[in-house]
């Protein structure tokens, strides 16, 4: 498991945005790849940094560090991407696939990379509510603290704890009481 970079001091200026990009791009990109797969990750991460650049004057270091602020932006964009994807899939269902639809092999490769977790665990995570899933994945994939997640999602510290507790309980129940961190992977 890789270690996450230390949070920049809250008084860090966003004036040197290229330094912010250099410091956080790889970490944010890894998180989005784990959530959406490699294909959509490029566009979502690019949009996240573009959004952050455009909103840099409104960044409030008293509310969150730069890293946490970026995770909040990218989590919102992941939801936007998924809503668009659902609308597209419903349209395809009604009207048939577009002429330039990806091949079966491309769809399978994208699905496998996006769901690198064991199938039962991936299914259990998919069944969580949006809030529980966000908190769980920001903890597990991004390594954010409760305080950082609360700031990134605009929720209270206590809400983070309850959502994480509920998510873990639901995952354990879906896996028959197995702790996925202790299960054999083979």
Q: pLDDT tens digit string along 120-131?
A: 777 788 888 899
- Global pTM reads 0.66
Domain housing 22: 17-185
The answer to the question of residue 11 being in a domain is no
Question: For residue 124, which of 176, 77, 75, 80 has the smallest C-alpha distance?
Answer: 176
Tokens of 89: 């899939």
The answer to the question of residue 10 being in a domain is no
Q: pLDDT tens digit string along 77-101?
A: 998 888 876 676 566 656 655 555 5
Determine the pLDDT at residue 8. 44
The answer to the question of residue 8 being in a domain is no
Q: How many domains does the chain have?
A: 1
């Amino acid at each position: 498991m890789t270690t996450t970079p230390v949070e920049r001091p809250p008084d860090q200026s966003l004036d040197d945005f290229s330094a912010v990009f250099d410091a956080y791009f790889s970490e944010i990109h890894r998180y989005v790849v784990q959530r959406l797969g490699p294909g959509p990750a490029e566009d979502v991460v690019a949009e996240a940094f573009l959004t952050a650049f455009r909103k840099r004057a409104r960044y409030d270091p008293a509310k969150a560090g730069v890293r946490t602020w970026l995770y909040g932006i990218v989590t919102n964009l992941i939801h936007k991407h998924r809503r668009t994807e659902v609308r597209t899939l419903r349209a395809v269902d009604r009207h048939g696939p577009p002429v330039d639809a990806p091949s079966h092999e491309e769809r399978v490769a994208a699905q496998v990379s996006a769901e690198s977790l064991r199938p039962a665990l991936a299914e259990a995570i998919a069944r969580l509510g949006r809030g529980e899933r966000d908190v769980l994945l920001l903890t597990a994939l991004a390594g954010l603290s409760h305080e950082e997640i609360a700031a990134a999602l605009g929720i209270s510290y206590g809400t983070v704890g309850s959502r994480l507790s509920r998510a873990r309980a639901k995952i354990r129940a879906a896996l028959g009481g197995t702790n996925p961190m202790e299960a054999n992977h083979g």
